[in-house]
Structure 1
Amino acid sequence: FVLSGASPGFGGNVVTVACFLKEDGDFSLNSIRVIEYSQETPGLGAKIAEEDIQKRFFPVPSAGLKRGLKVDKDAGSPPGSPKELRKKGIIKTSDVMTGATITPRAVVTSINLMYEYLKKKFGEG
């Protein structure tokens, strides 16, 4: 399933396209691409355009999605690698986007909304 979603960033909507897979009745997040971020602050939130930063958001297994994604700062900045934290629904960006929590939070919010839509439309579990 490929969906697009938007959520308010620092200067306007941040638009994300996400690819979800459904296997054995559960959804997982396979990939994302942020396609609109033009109002985000250059050097801070606009870093969301960098491929290496976008890769921090995926893949996320169903267990992580079910918990509801959060950026690491909102989850208390727990220790761990980006890959380990994604399994828990935590997206680690504070080490690569210092001072730009609002933009990754917008991406996470849009992913959560898309996931909720998929669950309602197609069921899970």
Structure 2
Amino acid sequence: ESEAGNDSRTTEVIVIELPWPSTFVRASLVNDSISKSIVVNLTWTPNFDGNMPIERYTIQMKDSTLSDINEFSSLNDEIGWENKEDIIIQKNSTKTWNLLRGLRPFTTYSFRLSAWNQLGEG
């Protein structure tokens, strides 16, 4: 320490960002003998939350029955996607599934899921 005095301080910086896309998104048919409708259980594994709690997930659905997925089109095309569910996540919740009801028989569906934190959609 010099006569003028030295002072040292430390600080911590937490970088916040959009959440990363969830992984291992899976859709499986559920036998719903009560309603006789087609039900799908969508499950996922959360990814990095961007150093902020996940507030909600948005599930989008697309009728892919007549789609021809080839090198010129992909599931990332914005055409035909519709919001199916907006799942609000309670604080400290670990919910990683959602039942989707009322789907049509003999229809091929594609699903995608996005996570939201306070900064927005990741």
TM-score with structure 1 length normalisation?
0.28
**Larger RCO, structures 1/2 (Cα 8 Å, 6+ apart):** 2
Computing the radius of gyration from Cα coordinates, the structure with the larger value is 2
Task: Select the structure that is richer in strand.
Answer: 2
Higher helix share: 1
TM-score of the aligned structures, taking structure 2 as reference length: 0.29
